[in-house]
Amino acid sequence: MAHPGDKLTDQPPPGGVKLGAFQLLEPLATGAMARVWRGVHRRSGLPVAVKVMTGEVARAPAYALAFRNEAEAVARLRHQAIVPVYDFGDVSVSTARQSDGAVEAGVPYLVMELAAEGSLDRGHVPSHWQALKSLLLALLGGLGHAHARGVIHRDLKPGNVLVTRDGCGARRFKLADFGLAHARRDDAVGVQHASWAASGTPSFMAPEQFKGEWRDQGPWTDLYALGCLAYALVTGRPPFQYDELQQLAHAHLREAPPRLQTDYEVAHGFEGWVSVLLAKTPEDRFLRAADAR
């Protein structure tokens, strides 16, 4: 029987693990705060990805409340550039027992569309201007949809842009992992504190995230991250690269990014557009995704 705090095993029992209406089949990836599983909806056979939170923070009551608020907000999003959320909940004791330690009882999980082709950090990087423009416009469309409904992503990076195919076989890019997003609502404010506000991926974090000023974060925070992403897509690296977190924080807060050096021709004014996204203070950036579009 699995108990909270038990070390997770690498594989579920043969045949998978029942989780509500779904079956966990095999782990796809493990991060600092979650493990992603390949799964299937048992009745329809629909392939899914299931993100199961891990670690001590996943069992904290404040985190569970924040996760549920976020999951409810994200589940209401309906946009072609956002990975849809099908279900969410907490792992039951019976599921934990079946898993032989592969998942813990009581931790939150999120069921999403399975993006079989991976993410931008596993390839699929645009190789010419029109492809880059199409990708950035798609992401801005998804961000605008989320922002208009009170949801801020807070962790936009290549690994959170997933790749799927439409019915004609064309590639589609979708925003995923709103686990660090929160609905900007009064009932979410009570569980916010500095450790939440400073969460994100340092190479793509806005200055206000490094400061832990969550009240100053908004759509413009995601647009800064989009600027970092756009910079990385055309140069092969984010604007600032340091081994120490303190150095990265200083760079995002104080340093101007190096000039863009691209392997292919981009539109006139693109570097200026990126520089607006990367402005140190929110009021100097585009304030809405529609403005950036």
**pTM: predicted TM-score of the whole model, two decimal places:** 0.84
120-292, what's its fold? Transferase(Phosphotransferase); domain 1 (1.10.510)
C-beta of residue 151 within 8 angstroms of C-beta of residue 141? no
- Pick the closest to residue 278 from 233, 223, 202 (CA basis): 223
pLDDT at 180 over 80: no
C-beta of residue 156 within 8 angstroms of C-beta of residue 62? no
Q: How confident is the model at residue 123 (pLDDT cuts 50, 70, 90)?
A: confident
- Residue range 72-99: average pLDDT? 91
Contact partners, residue 291, CB within 8 Å, separation at least 6: none
Whose tokens are 């309906």? That residue is 78
Specify the pLDDT at position 167.
Answer: 76
Q: What are 165's strand-pairing partners?
A: 171
Q: What does the domain layout of the chain look like in residue ranges?
A: 17-113, 120-292
CATH of domain 17-113: 3.30.200.20
Catalytic residues: 155
C-beta of residue 52 within 8 angstroms of C-beta of residue 103? yes
Looking at residue 56, the DSSP 8-state letter turns out to be G
In this predicted model, what pLDDT tens digit does every residue of 16-71 receive, in sequence order?
A: 899 999 999 999 988 777 889 999 999 999 999 999 988 777 777 877 787 888 78
What does each C-alpha distance from 30 to 82, 119, 163 come to in angstroms?
Answer: 21, 15, 19
